[in-house]
Amino acid sequence: MRSTLEKVIILKGTSLFSGTPDEVLAAVAGQMRDVTAAAGETVIRKGEPGDSMYIIVRGRVRIHDGDHTLTYLGADEVVGEMALLDPEPRAASVTAEEETELLRLDQEPFGELIEDRVEVTRAIMRVLTRRVRALDRETVELQARLAERS
């Protein structure tokens, strides 16, 4: 089990919490749980209700829809953050590619945190906006390739 200080250091290394003050990070860290996933273990299953996010501390995960791989994520990256804002069913599965250590943050304590700290809300909005922009770029590139084929 990691100490609060260790968790704060990990949180600072993520895009989601990099600009968050230490006292806020300490509050977040106090709500996080250590999780270890063995290679091949599914951490998040597509279709299940979303109620938590994970920060990858060590290891690598595959984001996928069945056999179709969407991407891979590694240390200091965040997965499942949309579930903190919206408990819709998970859009994809997340499976550990190797033994992976994660920190889990559940929706309820996170909700209490963002009520008090607007900078955490802004950080999540930045991460989600970057991901939407990346998807937009990929869509435009895919449309261009399809147009070339026709």
- Give per-residue pLDDT as tens, 16-34: 787 778 888 888 898 899 9
The answer, as to whether pTM is greater than 0.85, is no
What pLDDT band is residue 52 in, cutting at 50, 70 and 90? very high
Among the ranges 5-14, 56-65, 108-117, which has the highest mean pLDDT value?
A: 56-65
Output 135 or 61, whichever has higher pLDDT.
Answer: 61
Give the whole-angstrom CA distance, residue 47 versus residue 124.
Answer: 22
Q: Averaged over 66-81, what is the pLDDT? A: 93
Among the ranges 10-24, 62-76, 101-115, 135-149, which has the highest mean pLDDT value?
A: 62-76
pLDDT digits (tens, 9 = 90+) for 91-130: 999 999 999 999 999 988 888 777 877 777 777 777 778 8
Q: What is the DSSP string of 19-83?
A: TS-HHHHHHHHHH-EEEEE-TT-EEE-TTSBP-EEEEEEESEEEEEETTEEEEEEETT-EESTHH
